[in-house]
Structure 1
Amino acid sequence: MRLIQQLLAGGLTLKECKACLETKLDKAILKSRLNALDREIEQKQQSRNLLAALLSEGELKTWHEKLNKVAPDIHTDWLINQGFEEKEALHLRWLSKDMNEHDKYMADFMRVFQGLERWGPGSKQDTLKAFKKVPKPVQQILEIGCGKGQATRVLAQNCKAHITTIDNEQSALDAVSEAFASSNKTEY
């Protein structure tokens, strides 16, 4: 009886257990069952890893990357359903790729860069050098990823173009608005 229980636990059917007891072991059947069991274990391990990651007990980056490749819109919708605002969902997709690490990533980014004048490489001279290579006259400038607006101010001081600034961090846009408001510029 115990042998039958062990064979059943090994994944054999009752008919296959009977055949094992009455005749010589069929290695092809055993190999087939072993392969099927290995596949089931692999699938269960993937399921376990996903659940652990969703509970912040594991790593979600690979799962997010796969979902983002096959269904980016569904991935964003799912993140929003989890309570993230659209901007936060985009941050998760673009920056950290891991919803459990997003807040830490953004906190670390702000801790490092918040006190700095510039959030990226460059200088006033670099901005002017690049601007001089642009064919004149320039009437509109779109500055994507403006940070705190260091380059924006340099451009505003050196041209009459209408400058539109974009950044995915609200505190950066607030800093640009504040800088231009304090310099009595009504349009920026």
Structure 2
Amino acid sequence: MYHVSDITRRLGIARSTLLYYQRIGLVSPARDEENGYRIYSESDLERLVTIRCLQRAGFSLTQCQKCLEGKMDAAMLREQLLVIEREILHLKTAGSVLRALCHRAEGKAPPETPGKNPLKLWHATFEKESPQAHLKWLQALGFSEKTATQIRCVSRNMENHEVYMEDFFKVFETMKRQGPGSRQATLSAFRKIENSAAIRNILEIGCGKGEAALTLAGVSEARITAVDNHGPFLDALKRKFTEKKLSHRIQPLVASMLSLPFEDKSFDLIWCEGAAYIMGFEKALATWKKLLIPEGHLFVSDAIWLTDTPSAPCKELWDVEYPGMCRLEDRCSQAEKAGYLVVDASLLPRQDWQDFYDDMEKVLLDLEDSLGERPAFQDLKEEIAMNRQYGDEYGYACLLLQKKTLI
């Protein structure tokens, strides 16, 4: 629950603005029975975040309200688009005139600012302020949970999403791993679990083609449930564990990490390499904790900053790709706050990143030979170049956590 001061600080708006939103019916907070203060729910906060993000896209409050009610009037949207396009034309004209005057006054024009994708930045801002509000809004537009999640975390493009994701998966379905990591890194983390021989039930979330699941099956007697929402990844895993005669040990399951179909306290160990960001790190830890037995373990790797002053191009990329990135100590504090003991905190070896991007580059070269340039391919090439130039500024935190027992 949130009070007025919590909301105004979180959203950076004035108290009077918040109260105005209430007067015109955009939000309806409850009242504290004891003191009469306004109390805002998580749902109220998500609604307010959505309103603010729609306003950044040029919507009036009246238009915001209609969008929130699911009244997507095509004529209204087209009219608003024309208004915005006229404003853009005026601003571009003003910029051209100013550039010409600068050239006249100084003998040269100022350097042009590199173009940025405004839609990607808008989605990234929305995601940073509230992943849940972002997801709900996309679902309100008619996108499935899976598609909405892909728009949030990958394409950030509502218009050409299907084509983008088709090309994206052509790359990742071909790669050996779907994120930075290695067999040795998985083994190293697992061996830090005290009495690991007693583990009988493991859940891997966001398993991709199952490299970690296969490694865990090789060093334990546990039954492993491997979850991913992309069927072709699990098909590849099935082929691998059939070859290794591990069908009785690994159970693949197509499911969303946002709505896992398991009873509480079902697993001794939950494993997630590089996928927690899809839910948001803190929400993932809180949600998955319920699935662990008392004193059960969670291993999670997640992108973090290795410097307080990242280079501008690097920060610009990750502000879009993962707005929630922070430092290792912040992730440890979040884990402790969520009710975990931090058993071990380390960094994924730099070599694992290099191997991952070397594999990606080889796959991209082959695909471009046959398919040509594609937006998804270009974005991935930029990510490769960024890692090779600035890879010492960020990495994966590898956290082994243990669920605390309530006293």
Query: Do these two structures clear the TM 0.5 threshold for a shared fold by scoring above it?
Result: yes
2:173 aligns to what?
Answer: 114
- In the alignment, residue 75 of structure 1 is paired with which amino acid? W
Distance (Å, rounded) in 2 between the aligned partners of 1:113 and 1:50: 40
Q: Any runs of at least 4 consecutive aligned residues in structure 1 with deviations exceeding 3 A, and if so which? A: 42-46, 49-52, 58-74
Give me the CA root mean square deviation.
Answer: 3.4
Q: Does 1:130 align with 2:189?
A: yes
1:48 aligns with 2:106: no
**CA distances 1:134-164 after superposition (whole Å, capped 9, x unpaired):** 2222222221221111111111011011212
Matches within 5 A, 1:26-41: none
Matched, 1:142 2:196: no
The secondary structure found in structure 1 opposite 2:239 is helix
- Cα 1:62/1:183, change in 2 over 3 Å: same
- CA shift digits 1:61-114 (9 cap, x unpaired): 4555576657445413234x2xx4331122112322321243344233223322
Contact 1:146-1:167 within 8 A present in 2 as well: yes
Q: Which has the larger radius of gyration?
A: 1
Give 1:167's aligned residue: 228
When you count strand as a share of all residues, which structure comes out higher? 2
Equivalent residue for 2:154, pick from 83, 95, 99: 95
Residue 136 of structure 2 is aligned to residue 77 of structure 1: no
Task: Supply the distance in 2 between the matched residues of 1:102 and 1:144 (Cα, whole angstroms).
Answer: 24
Q: Is the 8 A contact 2:135 2:149 kept in 1?
A: no
Asked whether the 8 Å contact 1:67–1:75 carries over to 2, the reply is no
Contact 2:201–2:222, Cα closer than 8 Å, also in 1: yes
Q: Distance in 1 between matches of 2:80 and 2:118?
A: 13
User: How many percent identity over aligned positions?
Assistant: 37
Residue 155 of structure 1 is matched in structure 2 by 216
Q: Secondary structure of the residue that 2:174 maps to in structure 1?
A: coil
In 1, are the aligned partners of 2:201 and 2:224 still within 8 Å (CA)? yes
Write 1 or 2 for the structure with the bigger share of helix.
1
Cα 1:95/1:43, change in 2 over 3 Å: closer
Q: Is the 8 A contact 1:60 1:99 kept in 2?
A: no
Over 3 Å counting, the alpha-carbon distance change for 1:67 and 1:78 in structure 2 is farther
- Using CA pairs under 8 Å that are at least 6 residues apart, name the structure with larger relative contact order, 1 or 2: 2
